[in-house]
Amino acid sequence: MPPVTPSLPRIITYYQTHHTPDGTPISVLPLLTQPGIRLTHLILAAIHINADPDRPTLNDHEPSHPRFHTLLVDRLRADFGPRFIITFAPVAAALLDCRRNLSGFDYEALEVMRGREIAWYNCQFYCGWGDCSNPIMYEMLAMKGWPPEKLVVGLVTNPQNGSGFVPLDVMAAVLPLLAGQHATRFGGVMGWEYFNSLPGGPERPWEWARWMTSVLRGDRTMAPEVVMPVGRIEVPGGEAPAGDGGGGGGNSSGGEATANFGNSFYLGPWTGGAYISKATYSLAAPSVITDYDTSDSSLWVAIWVGVQQSDVDVDNENLVQPLLNWCIGQESCGCDASATEWCVAASTYTPEGQTGQAYVRVPSDAALDFEISVNSSTSMIDQKVWLNGELVSQQSDSKGLKPGVFYSANECSDSNCGTLASFSWTNVTLVMSAAVTDLGDYMSYDGASSDGLTSSDGGITWTVDAIAMGKDTTWDGQ
């Protein structure tokens, strides 16, 4: 089926099962003849790498099966020419972390080497490899650098086709958010598979394509709003600004969202032109939240320490903030941690949105060490994260930023985040670019405490053994 001139994002269905069990052909003609359907692509075949990697199948049969004698896969390009569309269908997690992959190769490397030949990726957000009940994971893929126009949301069209089915009323909220966020760059939606697609089921499978067409045209009844899990907040005059991390490693580009904040500390701004050239600090992974609202499928909590240029215009300045993050559905945030573990990643909030590395699972009671420093050679801000002594995440960005504030705020997506037990940031050391003899006077606390910063070298190096963050039970919206 040739591609339709795009006026909507792609609407795609796999047509793998061609016959009913009794051999009756399953017609796809209604996709053309029924009104209100704007299907863009019908995928007729897929190569499957199965439990036995030496026995791949084309659809349901091995390529050596007689029905495929006329289909020579290695001659597709030669047979059909340069206009033939080549796509891949990776599990969505594989585009975040090459280790979480069924294909046996690195999709990022493939995109670099052969991206010009690949039209798009039908990302499988199902069967435990992704979650599209909220926009988080798709936005993480976009923030990682994947072009949205090449990211097609792959869904199971019926719970009988695999785990991870997302009800249509939920998709009626999520898909318009993605389409609205990325406008004409949104890659579209794919359904696995056609023959029993809901809402029509086996009797009227074409209704899935009609429903998707209607939703992406904007003709829908909106489900409850799905809030992206990060946002900027205004800094009240004379008060410490709270941070903005969390969720799936950050928010979508250019959008604002509601966040709620707990205990915090804030250092700065100080007088003179000195800035923090290096900050190091440690953390023993605390317990995750308890007594939270289990019905909130998009719930997340983040704890972090970050640096920023100043407190004057936080909306238009980068906040370098390695994140320790927890989600009620960890895989939806791109991490394979259990419900009692955190995830960690180097991350920076920018005016355009969050940029961060893939999350790494943090075992209970693990030792974490962090470093944020100004690279004198590149003028970039380097951030590094060690887990039990092993470097697990690093990122360099924010060229030209000279940190003039150092702060932290426990953060949650909702006011019903329950209880976060007390914990401490330890072994905090700040190295200044020039002496600041009264730096400790610029420290303030809200639900946090310490013995105060001290310096033994005239104001260049400042240390504090621990900054204690009290137990959080009240999360204030910002």
279 and 181 in one domain? Answer: no
Q: What angle do CA 180, 185, 190 make, to 5 degrees?
A: 85
Is residue 239 in some structural domain? no
pLDDT, one tens digit per residue, over 248-257 is 433 333 333 4
Q: Which residue has the higher pLDDT, 255 or 18?
A: 18
The encoded tokens of residue 136 equal 């988080």
Q: Which of 217, 239, 272 represents a domain boundary (last residue)? A: 217
Q: Which of 217, 241, 274 represents a domain boundary (last residue)? A: 217
391 and 315 in one domain? Answer: yes
* The pTM of the whole model exceeds 0.85: no
387 and 312 in one domain? Answer: yes
pLDDT, one tens digit per residue, over 179-222 is 988 878 899 999 999 999 999 999 999 999 999 998 988 754 43
176 and 83 in one domain? Answer: yes
Q: Which of 188, 217, 246 represents a domain boundary (last residue)? A: 217
- Mapped onto helix, strand or coil, the DSSP state of residue 410 is strand
CATH number, domain with residue 194: 3.20.20.80
415 and 354 in one domain? Answer: yes
Quickly list DSSP for 154-206.
EEESSGGG-S----HHHHHHHHHHHHHHHGGG--EEEEE-STT-TTTGGGSTT
pLDDT, one tens digit per residue, over 137-166 is 999 999 989 999 999 999 999 989 988 899
pLDDT mean across residues, the chain: 82
Strand 10-14 and strand 188-192: pairing?
parallel
Is residue 5 in some structural domain? no
pLDDT, one tens digit per residue, over 335-368 is 778 889 999 999 988 877 778 888 899 988 899 9
Is residue 413 in some structural domain? yes
CATH number, domain with residue 353: 2.60.120
265 and 209 in one domain? Answer: no
213 and 287 in one domain? Answer: no
The amino acid that residue 197 corresponds to is: S
Is residue 233 in some structural domain? no
**Residue range 427-449: mean pLDDT, rounded:** 93
Q: How far apart are CA 168 and CA 174, in angstroms?
A: 10
| pLDDT of the residue at 221 | 43
266 and 135 in one domain? Answer: no
Is residue 95 in some structural domain? yes
- Of 304, 223, 290, the residue nearest 259 (C-alpha): 304
204 and 279 in one domain? Answer: no
**Residue range 385-407: mean pLDDT, rounded:** 92
Exposure string over 366-398, b if 16+ CB within 10 A, otherwise e: eebbbbbbbeeeeebbbbbbbbeeeebbebebb
Is residue 137 in some structural domain? yes
Is residue 418 in some structural domain? yes
Number of domains observed in the structure of the chain: 2
206 and 265 in one domain? Answer: no
Q: Looking at the chain, how many residues does it have?
A: 478
274 and 207 in one domain? Answer: no
In degrees rounded to 5, what are phi and psi of residue 267?
-125, 120
| pLDDT of the residue at 312 | 60
| pLDDT of the residue at 305 | 96
- Of 236, 269, 262, the residue nearest 443 (C-alpha): 269
Write out the residue range of the structural domain in which residue 164 sits: 10-49+57-217
279 and 177 in one domain? Answer: no
Is residue 247 in some structural domain? no
